[in-house]
């Protein structure tokens, strides 16, 4: 095992439930804990911790330390600035809140650690100072945040178009010219497109491709034969407006299909009340919310419909569906950079979702072939061992170079 001391700094609590980001940080922690003797996590929101996740981690490495920072509140002046600065071209409020919460740990990191892994680039100023003092500093970018910022700005319809463009350009400078440019020893890219972008932007920078992986659990497939009665699934965190609107889009799409019998399950954490009210209007739609054992609810699903918009990092929920041999109908945006091929291991639609669902459900051979090819690809490229464990092992070699 590695004798150097490593710290992981994450505003995302890996012991909570929910998002793909949570699982990303948690699985990274599990893999590193198996390869490093001395590992410390600095995170927030102790109240969201679930004990079973910590038990799994401690079973791998009993010496892992977990330090929860206090979720302190800024004074009224700072709180006002954090809200107004994003509209003046200084990023998002997270670019101020996260450094405010973590600024007290810099001296401890400098004095006690050899390696620091930052989740996201928000703490780039701290990272650069630590790098200059000889620490090996890593940024798991999770995704190019500019893409989600563009979506954030697009929702500000009251804002003149020229000013939206100004804010997007300023954010792009912040991310690419300031935060990621020479602040870290190593940048982690989560998909192939982002890997290529980083390598082009920073030809002298160490870049490491490290996609999301899945812990593959054995399961019994309850395979359905060709039929005219279909079970569909929407799967994804429902806490964001983008995702729950995608779920509504699927509900509306299936009710425009008249000659097929279709039921729909919606699985995802933190569903809003507005979605619950809509679901209650339809007898053939079931909202399950967060599900602990997804393998039970995934049985007998004919098609997963995931109309995600926006090019964001890596969609781990799609990988989970593929592991369970469920064909996935989605958008080009949803699989951006992941390397999937339309009508081979994924099914892509571009315009009318109702027509795409109907066409796909009526093609049993396509659904079956796509599901099998996707399952094979997941087992080759996106297992826990091929992603998280590989990174933990490779990191030894990278640091020693």
Q: How confident is the model over 28-74, as pLDDT tens digits?
A: 999 999 999 899 999 999 989 988 999 999 999 999 999 999 888 88
Give domain status of residue 222, yes or no. no
Residue 310 lies in a domain: yes
What is the tens place of the pLDDT at every residue in 111-152?
999 999 999 999 999 999 999 999 999 999 998 888 888 878
Quick count: other Cβ atoms within 10 Å of Cβ 123? 27
In a domain, 293, yes or no: yes
Q: Is the pLDDT of residue 186 over 90?
A: yes
**Under 8 Å between Cβ of 356 and 250:** no
Residue 242 to residue 114: CA distance in whole angstroms: 39
How many residues does the structure list for the chain?
401
Q: Do 185 and 286 fall into the same domain? A: no
**With 80 as the cut, is the pLDDT of residue 223 above it?**
no
Q: Are residues 48 and 103 in the same domain?
A: yes
* Long-range contacts, 22-27 (Cβ 8 Å, 24+): 23/212, 23/316, 24/119, 24/140, 24/142, 24/190, 24/212, 24/316, 25/119, 26/53, 27/213, 27/215, 27/384, 27/387, 27/388
CA distances from 38 to 12, 114, 167, 340 (A): 21, 10, 42, 38
- Tens digit of pLDDT for each residue in 270-286? 888 998 898 899 899 99
With both helix axes pointing from N to C terminus, report the angle between 51-60 and 20-33 in degrees, rounded to the nearest 10: 30
Say if 264 falls within a structural domain. yes
| Per-residue pLDDT at 225 | 65
Domain of residue 241, residue span:
229-381
What's the whole-model pTM score? 0.84
Give the count of beta carbons closer than 10 Å to the beta carbon of residue 384: 16
DSSP 347: E
Indicate whether 40 and 132 sit together in one domain.
yes
Looking at the structure, tell me whether residues 208 and 330 fall in a common domain: no
Residues 81 and 201 in one domain: yes
- Distances 325 to 4, 189, 190, 345 between C-alpha atoms, Å: 41, 27, 23, 11
Confidence tier at 327 by pLDDT (50, 70, 90): very high
Which of 11-25, 223-237, 251-265, 309-323 has the highest mean predicted lDDT (pLDDT)?
Answer: 251-265
Flag whether pLDDT at 197 surpasses 90.
yes
Name residues whose C-beta falls within 8 Å of residue 41's C-beta, 6 or more positions apart in sequence: 7, 8, 10, 14, 29, 64, 65, 66, 67
Query: In whole angstroms, what is the distance from residue 156 CA to residue 150 CA?
Result: 10
Among 175-189, 207-221, 288-302, 331-345, the minimum mean pLDDT is found in 207-221
Q: What is the pLDDT of residue 220?
A: 61
Residue 167 has pLDDT above 90, yes or no: yes
Q: Whole-angstrom Cα distance, residue 334 to residue 311?
A: 6
**361 and 241 co-located in one domain:** yes
Whether residues 192 and 330 share a domain: the answer is: no
Q: SS3 letters for 231-271? A: EEEEECCCCCHHHHHHHHHHHHHHCCCCCCEEEEEEECCCC
| % of the chain exceeding 70 in pLDDT | 96
Question: How confident is the model at residue 387, as a pLDDT?
Answer: 95
pLDDT band at 1 (very low <50, low <70, confident <90, very high): low
* Rounded Cα gap, residues 146 and 167, in angstroms: 11
221 or 257, greater pLDDT: 257
Residue 219 in domain: no
Cα 191 to the center of its chain, rounded Å: 11
> Which pLDDT belongs to residue 317?
83
Would you say residue 218 lies in a domain? no
Strand partners, 136: 115
- Same-domain check for residues 162 and 305: no
Share of the chain above pLDDT 90, in %: 60
Q: How far apart are CA 99 and CA 6, in angstroms?
A: 20
In this predicted model, what pLDDT tens digit does every residue of 330-339 receive, in sequence order?
A: 999 888 888 8
What total number of domains does the chain contain? Answer: 2
**Sheet (strand 65-68) strand order:** 65-68, 36-43, 2-9, 115-119, 136-140, 186-189, 206-209
> Both tokens of residue 72?
């302190």
Specify whether 237 is located in the same domain as 200: no
Same domain, 357 and 257: yes
Give me the pLDDT at residue 83, please. 87
Strands laid side by side in the 261-267 sheet? 285-289, 261-267, 229-235, 303-306, 328-330, 347-348
Q: State residue 241's pLDDT score.
A: 76
CATH of the domain at 94: 3.40.50.2000
| The pLDDT of residue 21 | 85
Burial class (CB in 10 A: 0-12, 13-18, 19+), 366: middle
Q: Kindly tell me the sign of the dihedral angle through the C-alpha atoms of 383, 388, 394, 396.
A: negative
Residues 272 and 336 in one domain: yes
Asked, for residue 223, whether it belongs to a domain, the answer is: no
d(CA 6, CA 324): 35
Q: Judge if 191 and 267 occupy the same domain.
A: no
Could you tell me where the beta strands, DSSP code E, fall in 222-366? 229-235, 261-267, 285-289, 303-306, 328-330, 347-348
In a domain, 309, yes or no: yes
């Amino acid at each position: 095992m590695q004798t150097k001391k490593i710290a992981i700094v994450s505003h995302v609590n890996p012991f909570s439930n929910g998002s793909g980001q949570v699982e990303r940080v948690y699985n990274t922690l599990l893999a590193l804990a198996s390869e490093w003797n001395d590992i410390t996590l600095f995170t927030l929101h102790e109240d969201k911790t679930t004990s079973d996740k910590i038990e799994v981690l401690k079973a791998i490495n009993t010496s892992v330390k977990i330090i929860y920072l206090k979720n302190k509140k800024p004074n009224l002046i700072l709180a006002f600035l954090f809200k107004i600065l994003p509209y003046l071209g200084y990023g998002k409020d997270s670019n101020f809140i996260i450094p405010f919460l973590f600024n007290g740990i810099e001296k401890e990191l400098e004095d006690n650690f050899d390696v620091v892994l930052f989740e996201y680039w928000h703490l780039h100023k701290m990272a650069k100072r630590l790098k200059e003092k000889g620490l090996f500093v890593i940024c798991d970018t999770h995704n190019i945040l500019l893409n989600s910022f563009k979506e954030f700005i697009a929702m500000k319809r009251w804002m003149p178009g020229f000013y939206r463009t100004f804010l997007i350009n300023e954010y792009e400078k912040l991310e690419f010219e300031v935060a990621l440019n020479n602040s870290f020893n190593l940048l982690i890219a989560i998909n192939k497109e982002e890997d290529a972008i980083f390598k082009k932007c920073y030809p002298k920078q160490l870049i490491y491709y490290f996609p999301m992986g899945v812990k593959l659990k054995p399961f019994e497939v309850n395979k359905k034969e060709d039929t005219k009665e279909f079970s569909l699934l929407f799967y994804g965190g429902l806490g964001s407006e983008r995702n729950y609107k995608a779920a509504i889009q699927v509900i509306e799409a299936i009710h425009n299909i008249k000659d097929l019998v279709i039921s729909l399950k919606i699985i995802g954490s933190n569903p809003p009340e507005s979605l619950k009210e809509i679901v209650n209007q339809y007898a053939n739609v079931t909202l399950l919310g967060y599900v602990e054992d997804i393998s039970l609810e995934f049985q007998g699903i004919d098609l997963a419909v995931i109309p995600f918009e926006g090019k964001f990092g890596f969609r781990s929920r799609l990988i989970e569906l593929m592991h369970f041999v469920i064909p996935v109908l989605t958008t080009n945006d949803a699989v951006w950079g992941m390397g999937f091929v339309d009508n081979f291991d994924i099914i892509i639609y571009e315009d009318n979702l109702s027509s795409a669902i109907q066409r796909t459900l009526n093609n049993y051979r396509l659904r079956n072939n796509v599901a099998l090819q996707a399952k094979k690809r997941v087992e080759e490229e996106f297992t826990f061992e091929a992603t998280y464990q590989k990174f933990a092992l490779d990191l030894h070699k990278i640091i020693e170079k």
